[in-house]
Amino acid sequence: MPDSRPHDADLTQPLPALTADGTLAIPSAALDVYTMAAGSTEHTALSVVGDYRLQSNLGEGAMGTVYRAERQSNGRVVALKVLSKAVATRPGFVQRFHREVRAMGRLTHPNIVRYLAAGEDGGRIYLAMELLEGGTVAARVRAAGRLSVTQAMAVGVATGRALEYAHQNQFVHRDVKPDNLLLTSQGVVKLADLGLAKATDDTDVSLTGTGTGVGTPEYAPVEQIRDAKRADTRSDLFALGGVLYFALTGVPPFPATNFLELLKLKENGAYPLASTKNREVPTVVDKMLGKLLARLPEHRYQSATEFLQDAEWSGFTADRIE
């Protein structure tokens, strides 16, 4: 008897293109993988999506919910992102999700979360990712108050290596932040959520109009906050500086109580040296932060490689938290 369950797509295979209105254009050969069906129930009532049996809710974001799930055909436990019902019918959000799949299917790196498969079941678009059991860098810092200099620099080096690889493959992340840095049970740091990734060789500019910011303002540079179209690889490096500062001190470099105050602080560009909040921070790390968090992109490191070289010359090469 043939298997009638929805199947998902191996991300090593080409993904369907997008039509002009932002919906998925499904090749006839892939109809068994990307079956567009109407009608669904709320995610809280779900127990099975495609070939995946949901076990628990791991968290919710702007685009949907992430579950711990088991693939029934082989028993593999994964993190399964399911696009929320509220946004699944909005072409812009579907396109963002599709872009995330396309991006992650192209990127394979030990410091980037691995995406395994994508598909659709009953109108629900889903994405299977490797499950990491170590939590987030954000949670680790909040629990400890701050990380040691060695641990914080391991976060910085791992993120730098992930960005170096992504940038070399023409991707700008645009939402680097502590919550998007996940840990394995062995403490390896991995960059997640390329849902906002912008392929720098992609001519499709329909998603983000001029004057619209994308990303997390707390960690994004001012040029990106004002206009996401101005974000480039150096914008990711500014966000990396914010992550490193947070890991070293337990607070972001530009603390503010509201958006306008945050924008003003970033326009000014001044922030307290990390060493004033953590006496263990050496001068060389303060200097690296100065180049990462520079107000003007041309004053920052011009590549992740430059940052990694400075880190290596200063004795920081580990990419895991011991």
Q: What is the pLDDT of residues 250-277, one digit of tens each?
A: 999 998 888 888 888 998 888 999 999 9
- Give the integer Cα–Cα distance in Å for 239 and 135: 20
Residue 204: both structure tokens together: 């499709």
| Cα–Cα distances in angstroms (integers) from residue 57 to residues 53, 71, 183, 289, in the given order | 12, 16, 18, 36
Which CATH number among 1.10.510.10, 2.60.40.10, 3.30.450.20, 3.40.50.300 corresponds to the domain 137-313? Answer: 1.10.510.10
pLDDT of residue 201: 35
pTM here is: 0.77
Rounded Cα distance between 84 and 71, Å, is: 20
Can you give the three-state secondary structure of the chain, one letter per residue? CCCCCCCEEECCCCCCEECCCCCEECCHHHCCCECCCCCCCCHHHCCEECCEEEEEEEEECCCEEEEEEEECCCCCEEEEEEECHHHHCCHHHHHHHHHHHHHHHHCCCCCECCEEEEEEECCEEEEEEECCCCCEHHHHHHHHCCCCHHHHHHHHHHHHHHHHHHHHCCEECCCCCHHHEEECCCCEEEECCCCCCEECCCCCCCCCCCCCCCCCCCCCCHHHHHCHHHCCHHHHHHHHHHHHHHHHHCCCCCCCCCHHHHHHHHHHCCCCCHHHHCCCCCHHHHHHHHHHCCCCHHHCCCCHHHHHHHHHHCCCCCCECC
Q: Which residues of the chain have pLDDT under 50?
A: 1-6, 12-44, 196-214
What's CA 28's distance to the chain center, in Å? 32
Q: Residue 52: what pLDDT?
A: 94
Burial of 48 (0-12, 13-18, 19+ CB in 10 A): middle
CB 207 within 8 A of CB 96: yes
What is the predicted pLDDT for the residue at 301?
97
- Where does CATH 3.30.200.20 sit in the chain? 8-130
- Distance separating alpha carbons of residues 181 and 87, to the nearest angstrom: 25
CATH 1.10.510.10: which residues of the chain?
A: 137-313
Whether domain 8-130 has CATH 3.30.428.10: the reply is no
pLDDT given at position 143: 96
C-alpha gyration radius of the chain:
20
Active site residues: 175
Distance CA 291, CA 313 (A): 15
Measured CA to CA in angstroms, residue 225 lies from 195, 239, 262, 266 at distances of 17, 12, 10, 10
Q: Which residues pair with 66 in a beta bridge?
A: 59, 81
**What's the pLDDT at 195?**
55
Separation between Cα atoms, residue 64 and residue 42, nearest integer Å: 11
Token output for 276:
């004033």
Q: Residue 102 has what pLDDT?
A: 73
pLDDT, position 165: 94
- Whether 35 and 21 have beta carbons less than 8 Å apart is answered as no
The reported pLDDT for the residue numbered 16 is: 37
- Are residues 107 and 169 in contact, defined by beta-carbon separation less than 8 angstroms? yes
